[in-house]
Structure formats: C-alpha cells, structure tokens
Structure 1
C-alpha cells in the first residue's frame, strides 16, 4: 500500500494532504522545512517504509523508517506543529492554520485502521512525500 503526502511549505509550518489511491484520508501538519535538521525541520521528500509502533506516550502510532540523518520519526497525534512536534508528522482531520489542525487523534485512528489492514495482508506500507 502506498500513501502519498502532498505538502505545502510555509515559514511557520508545513501543511499536507494524505492520499491512498487518489482518495484523501486526512490532512497533516509538520514543522517548517529547515534542511532536514533534527528536531526543527520536517523530513526530506522521498519514499519511506512505515511500520506499526506503540508507546506509553502516544499509544498506537506509526514509525517512518529510513530517514537519512534522522531517527525515531513518528506519525503521532498533535494539533500544533511548533508546540508538539520535533520532526514527526501529525495527521489532522481539518487544517486550522499553518502547522495547525483539529481532531488529530481521530485522523490518526482512521490512518491506523487502513495501515493495519495492509499489515494483516502482509503488505509493505510506503509513504511517498512530495510537494
């Protein structure tokens, strides 16, 4: 299964729309592009594998693998990129501004349901990020 994240870059954040087979799943928020710098930038455009992950802090969420020069890039809930993200991606149900959105947990749950169906079919889940 391939997820496609189409991004728009702004000085104070990055907004995106996440698609599967051309169908909109949810929107995304991220930090602004700052040359892939750890903790202050969104990650580089490209294609990455996604796997399931669980932690006490975020509960069920997703892990983006193979990001050059970066580690532990997650897809987890958050509604304000500058306050809640350190390079990760947060799905949101609706955008409310640059790097801001609403109902992140609901958007993540929708995305998790689709990804877990693919995992159960033993499919790789890929994320392609582009502008």
Structure 2
C-alpha cells in the first residue's frame, strides 16, 4: 500500500492532501520547508515506510521510518503546526489556514484504520511525499 501526500508549501507552513488509490483520506498540516532543520522544518520529499507506534503522549500513532537526518517523525494529531509540531505530520479533516486545520483526531482515526488494516494483512505501507505546488 502506498499513500500519496501532495504538498503545497507556504512561508508560514505546509499543507497537503493525503490520498490512497486516488481517493482523499484526509488533509495534512506541517511546518514550513526550512531545509530539513530538526524541529523547525517539514521533512524532505520522498518515500517512507510507515509503522504503528505507541507513546504515552500520543497513544497509538504512525511513525515514518528512515527519514534522512531526522528521527521520530510521526503522524499524530495537531490542529496548529507551529504550536504543536516539531517536524511531524498532522492529519486534519479540514484545512482552516496555512499550517492549521480542524478535527485532527478524527482524521487520524480514519487514516489509522486504513493503515492498520493493511499492516494486519502483513502489507508494507509506505507514504510517498511530493510537491503539488511551491508558493514561496
């Protein structure tokens, strides 16, 4: 299974559309692109394997493996990238502004149900991140 994340970059943040088989699963918010700097930039475009992970802070969430120069890049709930993210990706149900969205926990549950079903079938799940538009 390969999920496609199509990003649009803005100086204040990054927005995306996450699709599977041509169908929108959710939208995403991230920090702006700042050269892959730890904790202040979104991650580079590319293809990453997704795994399920548990932490006391976020409960069950998704972990992107082998991100160059980064570690613990997660997909977890957040509705404001600049206030709640340190390089991770947040799924949202609706985009409400640059780097902002709503109903993140609801979007994560929808995404996790799709990903976890594939993982339960022992499928490799990947996320492929591409640029849709640069608005810098």
Is the pair's TM-score, using the shorter chain for normalization, greater than 0.5? yes
The aligned counterpart of 2:122 is 122
| Number of residue pairs matched by the alignment | 131
SS in structure 2 opposite 1:33? coil
The residue number in structure 2 matching 1:8 is 8
The Cα of 1:105 is off from its aligned counterpart by 0.1
Which stretches in structure 2 are left out of the alignment for 5+ residues? 132-136
> Once superposed, which parts of structure 1, at least 4 consecutive aligned residues long, lie more than 6 Å away?
none
Displacement of 1:79 after TM fit? 0.1
- Partners of 2:35 and 2:53 lie apart in 1 by 26
TM-score, with length taken from structure 2? 0.96
**Cα deviation code 1:28-85 (max 9, x no counterpart):** 0000000000000000000000000011110110000010000000000000000000
Q: Distance in 2 between matches of 1:66 and 1:4?
A: 17
Instruction: State the SS of the aligned residue for 1:105.
Output: helix
Question: 1:93 matched to which residue of 2?
Answer: 93
Secondary structure of 2:40's partner? coil
